[in-house]
Structure 1
Amino acid sequence: MDECLLKTHNICKEFSSVPVLTNINLEIIRGEILGIIGENGAGKSTLMKIFSGIYKPTSGEIHYEGKRVFIHDPLSAKNLGISILPQEFNLVNELSLYDNIFLGSEIRKKFGFLDKKKMMERTIELLKELEVEIKPDEKIENLSTAQKQMVEICKAVAMDAKLLIMDEPTTVLTRFEIDILFRLMRRLKKQGTTIIYISHKLKEVKAICDRVMVLRDGVLVCTEMIQNISVLEMAKSMVGRELSQVFPEKKRPEPEIVFEVKNLCVPRILDNVGFQLRKGEILGFAGLVDAGRTEMAETIMGIRKRSSGQMFLNGNEIDISKPQDAVDNGIDYLSEDRQGAGILTSFTVIQNTTLVSLASYCTSFIKYIIKKKEEESTLRHKERFNIKTPGLDVKLEYLSGGNQQKVSLAKSIDPAPEVLIANEPTRGVDVSAKQEIYRFINSLSENGLSCIFISSEQEEIIGMCHRVIVMKDGRIMGTVEGENINEEEIMFLATGVREGAT
C-alpha cells in the first residue's frame, strides 16, 4: 500500500483574480498527524476547503490513494473518506445533538425508517470518549460554545474517516478538554486515521503532531519533522521576522472601583457571583468548560435574565435588562461565538464595525447615516488592528477567521465603552495578531478602560491580567493575584481541589 494518502501538485486558488494559494505541493502520509500553521490569511482554511469540496482549486491536481481525484463538493469528499471539523460551527440549533451528528449520514432501518435508537447509542459512545456529559437528545441551542465544539468533534469522528481535518479545534476548550481531545487523536492515529491539525497554538502543534507545514501568504514555506523545529522557529517561519515579547508589561491599575457586581444569580447557572473591577484593570476570569464565565458575561449584558443581584457603575446602581441597556451604560461585549453572536458575515467591514454604535454616525433629525464619518472611523480601526482586507466594503465572509475576529473587536470598542467584557478575544488568531490584540487591550487599560478578560488559555490569563477570578459550576471559587497567578493555583481552584478567598 502506498504510504502517501493525499498528494497535491501545484494547487492554486484565486478569488476575483487575487491569489490566495500559489503552487502548493504537499504529501500527506497515512496514519500521521500533520500540523499546518500560518498567520491569518495565509491560506490554511482555504486549502482545507479545497480538500473537503467546499472550494474548487483554480488550477492544480489532487491525488488521493494513488489516483487523481476531483473533489466537486462535500459529498464527493465524504465518499472519499474525508471529514472536516470546521473553524466555525456548522450545526442546526433547532435539532438535537444526535440529529446534528448524523445529519446527512443517518442510520436507517429496513424500508428507510430512521434508527433513532442506534444513532442515540452511537452518540452516547462518542460523548463518552470525549468525557462530555450531555444528553444525546439535547437541543444544540441549549449548549454552551465549548459543548458545541465537542459536538462538532463527535460529528467529524462519527463517519470513521480516512482523513480527518481539524481546523482550530481547541480555540474554546480548556487544558482539561484539550488533553481529552489529544487522547482521542492518538487513538485514531493508532487505528490508521490520518489527521490534519490546523492551529495557532504552537505548543499544541509541537505536542501532538508528527510533522508541521508552514504557509505564508498562500505559499508553502517549509515542512519539518516536529522534533526538528522549535516553537520559536515555527513562529519565525510563520511571520518571516523576529518576534518580540508576547505579553506587554502590566501597569498597576488605579484603586477606584468602576464596576461592581453583587450576588448575581441565575437559577441552575450562577450562584451569588460578586466582584469589583478597578479603573484600568484587566480582571481575568478562568475556569473549566461550563464554569459559568460566559453565562456571567451574558447576564451582565442583559442577554440572560437574572433572578437576583445588583450591578453598580461608578457607585451608581444600574439596571440592565437587554444588551442596549449595557451599551448605553458604557459596557460592551466581545462574544466568544464570533459568527453566532459577534459579527454578520453577509455585512461589510464598515457595517460590522459600526453596528453597535450606528446612532452616533447619524444626523440628529432624520437619522441619515453620515457615510464619510463611518468610513473614516472604520479606516482608523483597520489600521489600528492591522485588519487584512481588500477594502472596507468587502463582506466579512471573504475574510480569514482571524481578521473577522479583529473586526469583531473593533465593533466592541467603537462605542468607546468604559467597561469591555472580552470573551476569548484571541480566538482563532495567529501569534502575531495575538500580540497586537494584547498590546491594544493593554493600551486601552492604561488609558483608563476596565476590562473583564475571559479566556480558556491560561498562558494569556497569566500574562495579561492584574487579578484572576476562578469559577466552577457557576460559583466563584477564589481570586489570585500577584505571584499567585500561576497555572497550579488556577487549576486547584478550577477543579475544586482548593477554595480560596474572594
Structure 2
Amino acid sequence: MSDRAKQRPLIDIKGCSVTFPNVKALDDVSFTLYPGECLALAGENGAGKSTLAKIIIGAYKGDIKSFEVDGQDVLNKNYNVKMSQQMGIAVVHQELQLIPELNGIENIFIGNYTKKGMFVDWKALKRKAQEILEFLQCDIPLEVPVKKLRMAEQQIIQLAKAIVVKAKVVILDELTAVLQESDIENIFRLVRLLKAQGIGIIYISHRLDEIFEVCDRFSVMCDGKLTHSGNVADIDKDKLITMMIGRELKQVFPKVNTKLGETVLELKNFTSEKAFKNIDMTLKKGEVVGIAGLVGAGKTELINSIFGSYPLKCGNLFLNGRKVKIKSPIDAVKNKIALVPDERKRLGLILGADIKTNTSLVSLRRYKRLRGLFLDHKREAKEAFLMCEKMKLNYSSINQKAGKLSGGNQQKIVIGKWLLEEAEIIIFDEPTRGIDVGAKSEIYKLVNQLTQEGKSVIIVSPELEELIGLSNRVYIMFEGRFKGCVEGDAITQENIINKMLGV
C-alpha cells in the first residue's frame, strides 16, 4: 500500500453526475485529492473541469453517491460556497477576484477583518499580511490600490487570501495564463511551498508543459467523464494529449502556405514615443509573419499601432504600395485590417450579448435599410449563422450568450466577425491564450486556411512552437527594436531565443 493510500483524502467524491438542460456536464465522476499533492485536472474546454471544481466548492449541486471533505461527510449538510470556505477550500482564478480600488491588506482580509473594539485593527492586519508575504517569500507593496500592482503581484494577493482562511485545498484555475515566464516560475515555487505544508492543490491549466513541471498526479476529463488518472511521472506530453482529445494529434501545425503574392503591407520607420523604434516590416499576400519577443519588448504596442489603437510618433504604412494613414481602428477596418486581441473577453467580445450580435457587430452597416433607420435582422441572422457554421462553432443557437461558450469557441467568434467583414490582413495577438489543445489545432488549421484563401496574417505569440510551426518568417523584437528576421530553415528555437535575449 502506497503512503498516499494510507492518508485520508482532503476531497473524496464518488459517483457525481450533473445534468443541465440537454447536457450531461458530469457523468458518474469519482475524484480524490490527498494532502501535499498537486493534481492536474486536464481536458478540453467543455470537458467538465469547471463543473467539477464548482461541485467541490459548493457552487453546484449534483446527484452524488458520497462526498467527503477532509473526512467529513458533506453530502446531506446543505454544502455551499460559504461552508466550503469554512472547511478550508479556496479558489485562485485566472480572472482576478479582487476589488481594484482597495489595497492589498483590504483585499486579503475582506470579510475576515480583525476588530479592536468597534474598529478594524489595521495594524494587526498589516502584521498578518506581512507574515503571509514572508512565508511566500514575496515582497509586494500592501498599502496601494491593487489596480496599481503588476498582474503577477495581484495573483500573489489572491493566493494570500487563500492562506488567510487557512486553506487545506487550493484550486488554481488557469492562474498562469496571463503571466510571463519568470512569474510562472515563481508560481511553481509557491505551489511546492504549499505542498510542503500539506495543502492539496488542484491545478487547472491548458499549458501542458506546466503539468509536467509541478504536478504529481493527473486526472483527465472528456465529455463529462473522468477517463484517465495516474502519476505524471508515468506519462509524457503526447500521451496526455491523446487522453485529452481521444486521438493522436499528429501534424498539429498544417503545412505552411508557400504560394505567396505581392507585398500587401509595409512599415517604414514605425516609431512610438516609448514602445518601439525604427520598425521596418513587410507582409505578403498569403503569408504568415510571426513576431517574437520577451514581455515588454513592444510587440503588442506595435500591432496595435498598425490597427490605429496605439499612438505613433512617426513612420509610414503602405497597403498594396499605397501610403495610408491609420489614425484609428475605424480607419483600419475601412482598409480591411483586423485585430484579434489577446484579451478576447475584455476587448474582443460583448460577453452579455448573443452570438449573432458579436458576429455581426463590425459589419452592421451591411444590414442597414431605409436610409439607415432600420436593420435587416433577417439577413443579419442568416449571415451570422452561416459564419458560425463555417467556423465550426460548437453552440446551441445564435441567440446563445457569448459568455457561455468555451474559450476556443469565443475565439472563433472573434475571428468570424472579421471574416464576415471580409478583412484581408488579420493580426492575431496570442491567438491561443487560454484555450485547450484540441481548439488550438483548429485555430492553426484556420490560420492556414486563411492564407490559402489569399489573406495575410501577423501573429504575436509567447509560444515559440506556435510561431515556428505557423510562420513563413519571424521578426524578433528586443527592447523595442527588431533584432532580426528569420525564415525557412533558420526559424529555430535557438535562433529566436538568442535574438530575443539580444545576443
State the TM bucket, normalised to the shorter chain: 0.7 to 0.9
SS in 1 for 2:268: strand
- Give percent identity, aligned residues only: 36
Provide the residue aligned with 1:85 in structure 2: 92
Moved more, 430-439 or 184-193: 184-193
Using the TM superposition, give the Cα deviation of residue 430 of structure 1 relative to its aligned residue in structure 2, in angstroms.
1.8
Please point out which of 74, 83, 89 is paired with 1:76. 83
Provide the residue aligned with 2:476 in structure 1: 470
Provide the residue aligned with 1:13 in structure 2: 18
Contact 1:9–1:62, Cα closer than 8 Å, also in 2: yes
Alignment of 1:101-500 (within 5 A): 103-104=110-111, 111-112=119-120, 114-115=122-123, 129=138, 147-148=150-151, 151-160=154-163, 161-252=167-258, 254=260, 256-363=262-369, 365-496=371-502, 498=503
> For 1:285 and 1:121, how far apart are their aligned partners in 2?
40
Give the aligned residue type for 2:216.
D
Moved more, 422-431 or 201-210: 201-210
Q: 1:214 to 1:474 in 2, by over 3 A?
A: same
Contact 1:127–1:154, Cα closer than 8 Å, also in 2: no
SS in 2 for 1:402: helix
SS in 1 for 2:350: coil
SS in 1 for 2:11: strand
Does residue 26 in structure 1 map to residue 31 in structure 2? yes
Using the TM superposition, give the Cα deviation of residue 191 of structure 1 relative to its aligned residue in structure 2, in angstroms.
2.7
Contact 1:174–1:457, Cα closer than 8 Å, also in 2: no
Contact 1:265–1:273, Cα closer than 8 Å, also in 2: yes
Give the alignment's TM-score, normalised by structure 1: 0.87
Using the TM superposition, give the Cα deviation of residue 425 of structure 1 relative to its aligned residue in structure 2, in angstroms.
0.9
Moved more, 187-196 or 150-159: 150-159
Provide the residue aligned with 1:47 in structure 2: 52
Structure 2: tracts of 5 or more residues without a match: 1-5
SS in 2 for 1:357: helix
> For 2:232 and 2:345, how far apart are their aligned partners in 1?
33
Moved more, 417-426 or 273-282: 273-282
SS in 2 for 1:258: strand
Give the alignment's TM-score, normalised by structure 2: 0.87
Larger Rg: 2
Moved more, 438-447 or 16-25: 16-25
Contact 1:85–1:153, Cα closer than 8 Å, also in 2: no
Using the TM superposition, give the Cα deviation of residue 104 of structure 1 relative to its aligned residue in structure 2, in angstroms.
4.6
Using the TM superposition, give the Cα deviation of residue 60 of structure 1 relative to its aligned residue in structure 2, in angstroms.
5.3
Q: Deviations over 1:217-256 (max 9, x none)?
A: 1111121111222322222222223333100111225262
SS in 1 for 2:25: strand
> For 1:96 and 1:495, how far apart are their aligned partners in 2?
35
Matched length: 491
Please point out which of 46, 52, 65 is paired with 2:70. 65
SS in 2 for 1:289: coil
Give the aligned residue type for 1:454.
V
Moved more, 232-241 or 344-353: 232-241
Q: Deviations over 1:88-131 (max 9, x none)?
A: 344545556666555555677772154586588579769974x9
Contact 2:94–2:178, Cα closer than 8 Å, also in 1: no
SS in 2 for 1:442: helix
Contact 2:92–2:175, Cα closer than 8 Å, also in 1: yes
> For 2:221 and 2:23, how far apart are their aligned partners in 1?
17
Q: 1:80 to 1:386 in 2, by over 3 A?
A: farther
> For 2:194 and 2:357, how far apart are their aligned partners in 1?
43
Give the aligned residue type for 1:148.
M
Structure 1: tracts of 5 or more residues without a match: none
Moved more, 181-190 or 24-33: 181-190
> For 1:84 and 1:353, how far apart are their aligned partners in 2?
33
CA-atom RMSD in angstroms: 3.0
